[in-house]
């Protein structure tokens, strides 16, 4: 059973935000997360040859390679490595709306980047093939899936170079990606989903039709969930620069109903389609996202 | 009309500036924020700037209004009158503020009785408060706010006036304004509160209730001060039922000039004499009486020649020894040094050569003959009377009725018919009201007038004249007629022992003195005034003050003594029934007011 987040400060987004490189952030998140688990959720489900090693008393006799013994008259144990048969696609929304972040926490873009890096680190550690697709209204960057050890570095470098882009069109890259995927795997969408929900849900179902499991991480800032403002404010849209003057006291009720209805719709319709949906508050630890991923992965295998 | 009980609290409305200042100082620049979920806000009922400003202004107005209303609430607003309450019944509390209530504890009791009357007023009645002494004053107009009425009673205080019920009932009736109501008179029921022949009228249906403050406490009063050439004489009255020794002090120009102790029997008066020629301008005589009425403990007098007024006697030739022997000696009664009056004479013809100023120097004029009195002389006398002079006319055989009509001026209603050659018919004189100043000195012995035999008498009368005495035959004997600002007394007989033997009786001298005093009191140059008669502009407070003649010829700046009316010290009381019987209830409220007005104009001063 995981320890409470307060006992593992490394998973606190405010702590993660102070860490240097994205790799360090990802490693800190994942190692901290894994150290909190009593058992590894991933044990060998397929093996491939890795190396030979001299027999040590106590090793299982079934692991001795008798052919090598016949050639060299020495006992060698055949070591196998876990081998993934899973392709994991990380879809990271880098549209302008992801740039929002309250002053006391990571922005949604940073939070999503950390999450993508942590997932990539975790996948790479499990020898899963992982790829990255960053998009706004188009696909900005696409890193093909791979399980090579050096692929993690490429993924982290790619993540580190990303910048928030322009308008959001989540459905378009989803459909493009769904058409190109031929192998079963997992698609992880990290986005604030502030777009047309009908198209987003339709795009996600597109993956489902192709037998690909989908995890949706709905990243929202705490302010976007609670709307804690009180002064009359001119709100400027991060993507369209459209401005609207509002008195929070007057619109709070309506806004909270709207955002609540949006979240509830995603949760309900995606859940009905077998798509894992996880709402992430940028103020909360990333372990929820990792647990959700592992849960979906185990179900996919 | 909107009024306030505590208007000082309105200053608190200045606090309304606080939200205005805060509104102006705390105006923050508009905040801007980049926001991702603007699309969710767009569908919200976005408050437009104009609407928000309007809301802020409304909020500001409400905050300002809160302060203003708070200040208004503390100021205790009320509507003094209102159409909605026009038909309500009215309770008017008439509070006696005469100086007889200035004895310790008496006015506090009067206040309590007045407040009790307010508390007992039927629910829904309008309540008003009137204070009265010589004159009535409206302290609180009829209104629904009883707290206001009670506050008005708290602010009332006894003054220096004398009780006059007619003034109270007249003012209260006017405040009823045609509505049904109750008049509660809070008073000590002094008998002197009704003047002789006085009456009051209230609208029909008006209930009069009396709240009795109680009888006067044992009281010592200085009722008169006479300054003679070699002494000052003060009359002290003991109004209590037990004999007392009164300590009397004389002060001249503010400096102690003598003390005296006078022993007084129950309800008796005695003179305190301070020997020595008084040197100064004013004298004050005080008596120690801490437990009685306070306002009558001191009396003032002006020293100097004005205390001996000159009386002008008009005869046919001006020879007093031959034509006015008895009058001359009666007026000059006493020693040569302390005679009450100086007597001057003039014939009817020489009077025409006089000026107004010369005639105005006299305190009173006794007209004993109209022989030789030409038009110019009559006009002089008429002018004298119109300007406040007092004229006594003895309608004897030397007085022509046609001439007398001109003496009091064009507006006079005096008519006199001299009946010559008729057979003498003995008759006696009977005062109509011994409380009239002329007869007041004879209050205990007015029957002595019955000893005087009048053989002949003229017929006198006038629509505006008031009868003061009649003969036993029923004919008018003595009348008082108004003459401009002055007054005139007309006796239907002579003063020279021809038509009557009046000069041969003991009552002649005091009668003549009282007549002259009464007539002289109307003159502007009289030096002794009671509170009710002070000249215009003089404060109604006892003391010695200097007044000017207000432009009137022959009257320059002069000192006058203002004193309380000594009649108020009379402890005689009336019953509630006596009081009620003096009040007439009229169906026509307007007539009531008119009668009250007429009654007020003829009130004796």
Tens digit of pLDDT for each residue in B194-210?
775 566 778 887 888 88
Query: Is B38 within 8 Å of A100 when comparing Cβ atoms?
Result: no
- The CATH number of the domain holding residue A218 is 3.40.50.410
Query: Is B34 within 8 Å of A192 when comparing Cβ atoms?
Result: no
Query: Is A99 within 8 Å of B41 when comparing Cβ atoms?
Result: no
Domains and CATH numbers, chain B: 2-79 (no CATH), 83-215+573-601 (3.40.50.410), 220-305+526-569 (2.60.40.10), 310-520 (3.40.50.880)
Question: What is the tens place of the pLDDT at every residue in A209-220?
Answer: 888 888 899 999
- Phi and psi at residue A68, to the nearest 5°: -65, -40
CB < 8 Å to B52, chain A = 232, 247
Question: What is the tens place of the pLDDT at every residue in A230-239?
Answer: 887 888 888 8
B390 beta partners: B364, B487
A182 and A294 inside one domain = yes
Report the pLDDT averaged over residues A82-108. 80
User: For position A261, what pLDDT does the model report?
Assistant: 92
Interface test with A, best of B28, B40, B59 (most A CBs within 10 A): B40
Query: Is A246 within 8 Å of B48 when comparing Cβ atoms?
Result: no
A166 and A265 inside one domain = yes
Is the four-CA dihedral A136, A142, A146, A147 of positive or negative sign?
Answer: negative
A70 and A158 inside one domain = no
Q: Which chain B residue has its CA at the smallest distance from A253's CA?
A: B44
Q: Which domain range does residue A34 map to?
A: 5-39+85-300
CB < 8 Å to A259, chain B = 37, 40
A228 and A131 inside one domain = yes
Indicate the residue of B31, B39, B48 with minimum beta-carbon distance to A234.
B31
Question: What is the tens place of the pLDDT at every residue in B208-240?
Answer: 888 888 888 888 999 888 877 778 888 898 888
A144 and A218 inside one domain = yes
User: For position B186, what pLDDT does the model report?
Assistant: 92
**Do the bridges between strand B207-212 and strand B181-187 make them parallel or antiparallel, or are there none, so unpaired?**
parallel
The residue among A24, A56, A82 that closes a domain is A82
The pTM for the full model equals 0.44
Confidence category of residue B552, pLDDT binned at 50, 70, 90 = very low
Query: Is B35 within 8 Å of A232 when comparing Cβ atoms?
Result: no
Query: Is A235 within 8 Å of B43 when comparing Cβ atoms?
Result: no
The residue among A82, A102, A135 that closes a domain is A82
A232 and A165 inside one domain = yes
Residue B341 DSSP label: -
Question: What is the tens place of the pLDDT at every residue in B291-327?
Answer: 888 888 999 988 865 455 788 999 988 888 888 889 8
CB < 8 Å to B40, chain A = 194, 255, 258-259, 262
CB < 8 Å to B37, chain A = 97, 194, 224, 255, 259
Q: Quote the distance between the C-alpha of residue B14 and its chain's center.
A: 45
Using left for φ > 0, alpha for ψ between -120 and 50, and beta otherwise, residue B267 falls in: left
Beta strands in B98-144 (DSSP E): 126-132, 136-143
A22 and A58 inside one domain = no
A20 and A133 inside one domain = yes
Indicate the residue of B33, B36, B40 with minimum beta-carbon distance to A233.
B33
Radius of gyration of chain A from its Cα atoms, rounded to whole angstroms: 22
Report the pLDDT averaged over residues A155-176. 84
SS3 A155: helix
* Position with higher pLDDT, B138 vs B276: B138
User: For position A1, what pLDDT does the model report?
Assistant: 40
Q: Could you tell me how many residues make up chain A? A: 301
CB B359 within 8 A of CB B312: yes
Q: How far apart are CA A23 and CA B159, in angstroms?
A: 103
Question: What is the tens place of the pLDDT at every residue in B470-518?
Answer: 888 888 899 988 887 788 899 988 888 888 888 988 888 888 888 888 8
Indicate the residue of A98, A247, A258 with minimum beta-carbon distance to B43.
A258
- Find, among A90, A1, A89, A15, the residue nearest to A286 by Cα: A15
With a cut of 80, say whether residue B164 has pLDDT above it: yes
**Do the bridges between strand A129-135 and strand A87-93 make them parallel or antiparallel, or are there none, so unpaired?**
parallel
Query: Is A259 within 8 Å of B40 when comparing Cβ atoms?
Result: yes
Query: Is A246 within 8 Å of B41 when comparing Cβ atoms?
Result: yes
Query: Is A254 within 8 Å of B34 when comparing Cβ atoms?
Result: no
- Find, among A132, A237, A245, A134, the residue nearest to A194 by Cα: A237
Q: How far apart are CA B44 and CA B39, in angstroms?
A: 9
Residue B493 DSSP label: S
A236 lies within 8 A of chain B by CB? yes
Tokens standing for residue A3 = 């320890």
Q: Which chain B residue has its CA at the smallest distance from A242's CA?
A: B38
Size of interface A-B (CB pairs under 8 A): 90
Question: What is the tens place of the pLDDT at every residue in B402-443?
Answer: 788 777 777 677 777 776 656 678 888 888 877 788 887 776
Q: How far apart are CA A220 and CA B41, in angstroms?
A: 16
Question: What is the tens place of the pLDDT at every residue in A265-279?
Answer: 999 998 888 888 888
Indicate the residue of B31, B35, B48 with minimum beta-carbon distance to A100.
B35
Instruction: Name the range with the highest mean pLDDT among A160-169, B242-251, B401-410, B415-424.
Output: B242-251
Q: How far apart are CA B45 and CA B66, in angstroms?
A: 30
Nearest-CA distance B65 → chain A (Å) = 24
Residue B206 DSSP label: -
A151 and A62 inside one domain = no
In this predicted complex, what is the ipTM?
A: 0.71
- Find, among B455, B487, B514, B478, the residue nearest to B330 by Cα: B514
Residue B254 burial by CB count (10 A; 0-12/13-18/19+): exposed, middle or buried? exposed
With a cut of 60, say whether residue A9 has pLDDT above it: no
With a cut of 70, say whether residue B179 has pLDDT above it: yes
A66 and A155 inside one domain = no
SS3 B387: coil
Q: How far apart are CA B60 and CA B19, in angstroms?
A: 7
Query: Is B34 within 8 Å of A255 when comparing Cβ atoms?
Result: no
With a cut of 70, say whether residue A264 has pLDDT above it: yes
Report the pLDDT averaged over residues B254-266. 88
Instruction: Name the range with the highest mean pLDDT among A258-267, B14-23, B28-37, B357-366.
Output: A258-267
Q: Which long-range contacts (CB under 8 A, 24 or more apart) does B259-262 make?
A: B262/B236
A108 and A207 inside one domain = yes
Q: How far apart are CA B537 and CA B548, in angstroms?
A: 10
B489 beta partners: B392, B480
Residue B388 DSSP label: T
Indicate the residue of A224, A229, A250 with minimum beta-carbon distance to B37.
A224
- Find, among A216, A207, A206, the residue nearest to A265 by Cα: A216
Nearest-CA distance B33 → chain A (Å) = 5
Q: Per the structure, how many domains does chain A have?
A: 2
A60 and A193 inside one domain = no
Report the pLDDT averaged over residues A193-198. 88
């Amino acid at each position: 059973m995981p320890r409470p987040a307060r006992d593992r400060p490394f998973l606190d987004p405010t702590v993660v935000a102070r860490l240097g490189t994205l790799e360090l952030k990802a490693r800190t998140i994942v190692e901290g997360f894994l150290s909190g688990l009593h058992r590894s959720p991933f044990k060998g489900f397929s093996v491939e040859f890795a190396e030979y090693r001299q027999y040590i008393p106590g090793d299982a006799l079934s692991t001795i390679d008798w052919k090598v013994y016949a050639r060299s008259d020495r006992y060698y144990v055949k070591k196998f490595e876990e081998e993934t048969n899973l392709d994991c696609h990380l879809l990271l929304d880098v549209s302008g709306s992801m740039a929002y972040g309250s002053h006391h926490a990571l922005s949604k873009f940073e939070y999503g980047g950390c999450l993508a890096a942590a997932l990539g680190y975790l996948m790479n550690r499990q020898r899963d093939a992982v790829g990255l697709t960053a998009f706004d209204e188009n696909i900005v960057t696409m890193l093909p899936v791979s399980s090579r050890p050096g692929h993690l570095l490429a993924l982290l470098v790619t993540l580190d170079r990303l910048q928030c882009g322009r308008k959001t069109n989540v459905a378009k890259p989803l459909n493009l990606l769904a058409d190109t995927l031929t192998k079963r795997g997992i698609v992880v969408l990290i986005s604030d989903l502030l777009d047309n929900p009908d198209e987003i849900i339709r795009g996600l179902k597109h993956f489902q039709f192709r037998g690909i499991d989908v995890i949706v991480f709905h990243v929202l800032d705490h302010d976007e969930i609670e709307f804690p403002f009180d002064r009359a404010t001119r709100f400027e849209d991060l993507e369209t620069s459209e401005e609207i003057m509002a008195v929070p006291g007057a619109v709070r009720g309506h806004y909270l109903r709207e955002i609540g209805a949006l979240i509830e719709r995603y949760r309900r319709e995606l859940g009905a389609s077998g798509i894992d949906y996880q709402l992430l508050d940028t103020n909360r630890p990333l372990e929820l996202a990792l647990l959700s991923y592992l849960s979906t992965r185990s179900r996919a295998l | 009309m909107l009024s306030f009980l505590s208007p000082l609290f309105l200053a608190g409305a200045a606090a309304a500036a606080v939200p205005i200042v805060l509104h102006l100082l705390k105006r923050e620049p508009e905040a801007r924020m980049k926001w991702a979920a603007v699309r969710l806000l767009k569908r919200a009922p976005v408050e437009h700037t104009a609407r928000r400003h309007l809301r802020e202004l409304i909020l500001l107005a409400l905050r300002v209004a809160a302060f203003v209303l708070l200040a208004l609430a503390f100021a205790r607003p009320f509507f003094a009158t209102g159409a909605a309450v026009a038909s309500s019944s009215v309770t008017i509390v008439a509070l006696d503020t005469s100086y007889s209530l200035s004895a310790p504890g008496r006015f506090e009791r009067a206040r309590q009785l007045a407040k009790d009357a307010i508390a007992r007023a039927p629910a829904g009645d309008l309540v008003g408060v009137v204070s009265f002494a010589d004159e009535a004053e409206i302290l609180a107009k009829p209104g629904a706010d009883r707290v206001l009425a009670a506050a008005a009673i708290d602010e009332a205080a006894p003054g220096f006036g004398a009780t006059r019920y007619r003034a109270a009932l007249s003012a209260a009736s006017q405040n009823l304004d045609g509505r049904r109501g109750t008049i509660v008179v809070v008073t000590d029921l002094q008998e002197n509160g009704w003047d002789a022949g006085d009456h009051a009228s209230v609208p029909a249906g008006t209930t009069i209730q009396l709240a009795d403050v109680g009888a006067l406490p044992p009281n010592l009063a200085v009722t008169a001060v006479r300054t003679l050439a070699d002494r000052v004489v003060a009359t002290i009255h003991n109004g209590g039922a037990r004999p007392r020794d009164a300590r009397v002090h004389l002060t001249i120009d503010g400096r102690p000039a003598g003390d005296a102790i006078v022993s007084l029997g129950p309800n008796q008066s005695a003179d305190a004499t301070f020997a020595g020629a008084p040197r100064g301008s004013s004298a004050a005589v005080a008596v120690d009486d801490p437990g009685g009425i306070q306002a009558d403990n001191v009396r003032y007098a002006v020293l100097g020649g004005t205390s001996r007024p000159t009386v002008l006697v008009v005869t046919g030739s001006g020879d007093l020894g031959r034509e006015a022997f008895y009058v001359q000696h009666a007026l000059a009664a006493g020693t040569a040094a302390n005679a009450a009056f100086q007597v001057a004479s003039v014939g009817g013809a020489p009077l025409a050569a006089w000026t107004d100023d010369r005639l105005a120097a006299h305190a009173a004029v006794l007209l004993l003959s109209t022989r030789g009195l030409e038009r110019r002389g009559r006009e002089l006398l008429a002018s004298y009377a119109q300007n406040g002079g007092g004229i006594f006319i003895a309608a004897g055989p030397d007085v022509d009725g046609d001439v007398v009509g001109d003496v009091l001026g064009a507006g006079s209603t005096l008519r006199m018919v001299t009946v010559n050659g008729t057979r003498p018919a003995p008759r006696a004189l009977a005062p109509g009201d011994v409380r009239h100043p002329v007869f007041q000195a004879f209050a205990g012995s007015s029957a002595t007038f019955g000893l005087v035999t009048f053989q002949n008498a003229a017929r006198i009368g006038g629509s505006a004249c008031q009868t003061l005495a009649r003969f036993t035959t029923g004919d008018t004997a003595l009348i008082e007629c108004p003459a401009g600002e002055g007054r005139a007394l007309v006796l239907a007989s002579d003063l020279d022992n021809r038509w009557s033997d009046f000069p041969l009786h003991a009552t002649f001298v005091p009668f003549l003195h009282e007549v002259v005093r009464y007539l002289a009191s109307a003159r502007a140059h009289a030096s002794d005034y009671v509170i009710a008669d002070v000249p215009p502009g003089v404060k109604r407070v006892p003391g010695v003050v200097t007044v000017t003649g207000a432009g009137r010829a022959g009257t320059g700046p002069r000192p006058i003594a203002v004193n309380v009316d000594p009649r108020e010290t009379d402890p005689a009381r009336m019953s509630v029934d006596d009081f009620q019987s003096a009040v007439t209830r009229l169906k026509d409220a307007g007539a009531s007011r008119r009668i009250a007005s007429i009654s007020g104009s003829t009130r004796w001063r």
